[in-house]
Structure 1
Amino acid sequence: MLVLLIAVIHDTYNPDWPCREILKALEDQGVERLFLRISKISSRIGEKPRFWAGSRSLDDLNGAFVRSLGSIVNVEQMVRRITLLEHMESYGVTLMNPLDPLLTSRDKYRTLYKLELKGVPIPKTSISEDLRTAYEYSKKLGKLVIKPLIGSRGFGSVLVDHPEVSFRILKTLASTRHPLYVQEYVPKPSRDIRAFVVDGSIIASMYRYAPQGEWRTNIAQGGEGEPCKLEGEFEDIVLKAVEALELWYAGVDIIEGPEGPVVVEVNGSPDWEELTMVTKVNPAPSIVKCLIKKLKC
């Protein structure tokens, strides 16, 4: 009987909570498992073994969950890590999520245009490096959100309702050569919805309520969760969004706009500790079973 070897890839010294849950679910399935820091994985070209973690060859690795590429890295480190994962995929290591969809989900610009191509409702957004263009667009929108191009958990997102305040923020970003990501503010209740999708099915969802005096509903920003069940148009749009990005599992953030549901973000390596506490559903076993199924196909 073939015994699978599956890794969980992050860049922390110790596994965080989702990584620990995946490792436990792998153990429950009788799978050999490794926790690997991506900065400690090395590769070789022109000889075997091709992949290493310290002195251990990784050429027997069947699959891996890519949970993080690292949070503070330079351009060359990021290029090296992306190419490493591409190299591993090319030699038969099945990544979850697959590399290209994962990279899409990390890039808000790429995510939104792919969603729009598939007819998924998204907020009107301008992405530029030109200060005047971004400023003029902010005047057109009035109330808007300025976000980092790459990021999660609501960090760095700013709600602005005056164009001159927008200008000051945008000028600062432009001076440090950051892309200018300006998005319309879609009116909504003081909540949004986080839906968790695995292998084409919504396995759990919750409302996330913004704390008093805060517009962001992210749990990392003090939001509180409540279980909910998605049906009809909301369920269809969540599944359509995940399918559009070709993700095997994802967290989808959706808001109840005046004209219906709007998808604001799709996370290809979502956390789920709060979701589990709120809904009593732990996605880890479903995620692990999905990858095992892909490996056996």
Structure 2
Amino acid sequence: MSTDIKEGFVLILANEEDKKDHDALAETLKSYSVDCLTVNPKDITSYFTEDGNRFFIGKCEIKPALVLGWVFEDILRMGMNLLYAFERSGIPVINTAETLFCGQNKYLNSEALHREGIPHFPVISGYSDRYLDEWSGDLKYPLVHKQIVSAGGQAVIKVDSPILLKDLARTFAQYNESFYAQPYYEKPDRDIRIICINFKATSGFYKYSPAGEWVTNVARGGKPVLIEHIDSQMASIAEKAAKVMGARIAGIDLLETPSGELRVLEVNTCPNFYLKQFMPEAPDVTEQAIAKMIIHEMKKTEENVL
């Protein structure tokens, strides 16, 4: 088989949705003389034979020095297949397939945070409405119902009654999905996003809810405001949460309770990190931190080969 070969570069496995973030990282890596290429997993052909496992874009064989996993929603499954295959072929992967799968699943997010003692929120989750009546004495309303695999505040619903929760459970069961609900907490008109790279807090911002709304997601009109100095409490809880999820690139959402306690809402494993797209005054510390982590991993791999 006669092919071209591209090797020694950083492969970002992603679609076009977070292009600004990936372009910013590519520019930062370029400043360190590291080549970078973003490729949709749909454009990669795998060729497995007794001679070994090989990966192609068209007829060009690719041999990346490191793979950055950035797959979610409709490309998550095929992206995970590739990330597992790259990793098992000896290519370092950040974030791994397992991290991305667990991080994008609110059920597994909550299980891990509670198991490891990270301040989180109670969760009730199950399939269908069949046994919900038996839990009526344990649940206090309002609740917040979320789709287990979703992003950007999709399908987040305030639930004011047992009837509505049963209706939601019944509806989600029709799509072979479980319900997932947490207590609704009164809070300031904001929550907090802390970005951690290699389990260290690098940047953060408040997300303020639009007038008359209670959700704060930027995708749903929330206003981001840069945190110039991340205090030690914010940094500590965010870094612990990132470690629990094994997420070397993570966006941790925190909520301030009425008593002033910080709790983790969830750990995002494909967070926007190019903050200038939302806040022009934001520094480039996060893309710099990602680039330095990638270069460090590449050097470790080279040393192991030698």
TM-score (norm 1): 0.89
Q: 1:132 aligns to what SS in structure 2?
A: coil
Partner residue of 2:65 out of 62, 66, 79: 62
1:146-225 aligned within 5 A? 146-225=145-224
| Residue 80 of structure 1, CA deviation | 4.2
Aligned to 2:92: 94
* Equivalent residue number for residue 14 of structure 2: 10
Please tell me whether the aligned partners of residues 123 and 186 of structure 1 are also in contact (alpha carbons under 8 angstroms).
Answer: no
Could you say which residue in structure 2 is the equivalent of 1:26? Answer: 29
Q: Any unmatched runs of 5+ in structure 1?
A: none
After superposition, the CA RMSD in angstroms is 2.2
| Alignment correspondent of 2:271 | 270
> Counterpart of 2:225 in 1: which secondary structure?
strand
Alignment of 1:223-262 (within 5 A): 223-228=222-227, 229-259=229-259, 260-262=261-263
Structure 2's unaligned 5+ residue stretches are 1-6, 301-306
Whether contact under 8 Å (1:97, 1:249) holds in the other structure is: yes
**Structure 2 residue 54 is the aligned partner of structure 1 residue 50:** yes
Give the partner amino acid of 1:264: L
State, as a whole percentage, how many aligned pairs show the same letter: 24
Q: Are the counterparts in 2 of residues 134 and 182 from structure 1 also a CA contact under 8 Å?
A: no
Q: Deviations for 1:123-152, whole angstroms, at most 9, x for unmatched residues?
A: 100121131334654771211111111111
Number of aligned residue pairs: give it: 288
Measured against aligned partners, the alpha-carbon deviations of 1:153-198 in whole angstroms (never above 9, x if no partner) come to 1111111222222222222212222211111112211110000111
Give yes or no for contact 1:126–1:134 (8 Å, CA) kept in 2: no
User: Match for residue 117 of structure 2?
Assistant: 119
Give, as a single letter, the amino acid of the residue that structure 2 aligns with 1:108: K
Q: Could you tell me which of 293, 299, 306 is aligned with 1:296?
A: 299
CA distance in 1, matches of 2:10, 2:296: 13
1:7 Cα deviation (Å)? 1.0
Distance change (3 Å), C-alpha of 1:275 and 1:216: farther
Shift of 1:292: 1.2
Q: How far apart in 2 are the matches of 1:206 and 1:80?
A: 32
The reply to whether residue 284 of structure 1 matches residue 282 of structure 2 is no
1:275, distance to aligned residue in structure 2 (A)? 6.3
State the one-letter code of the partner of 2:120.
I
Using the alignment, how far apart are the partners of 1:33 and 1:273 within structure 2?
16
Q: What's the offset of the Cα at 1:88?
A: 0.7
Distance 1:114 1:41 in 2: 32
What is the CA-CA distance between 1:97 and the residue it aligns to? 1.1
Report the secondary structure of 2:131's partner residue.
Answer: helix
Secondary structure, counterpart of 1:35 in structure 2: strand
State the 1:99 CA deviation.
Answer: 2.3
Secondary structure, aligned partner of 2:293: helix
Amino acid at match of 2:273: W
- Mapped partners of 2:251, 2:18: distance in 1: 20
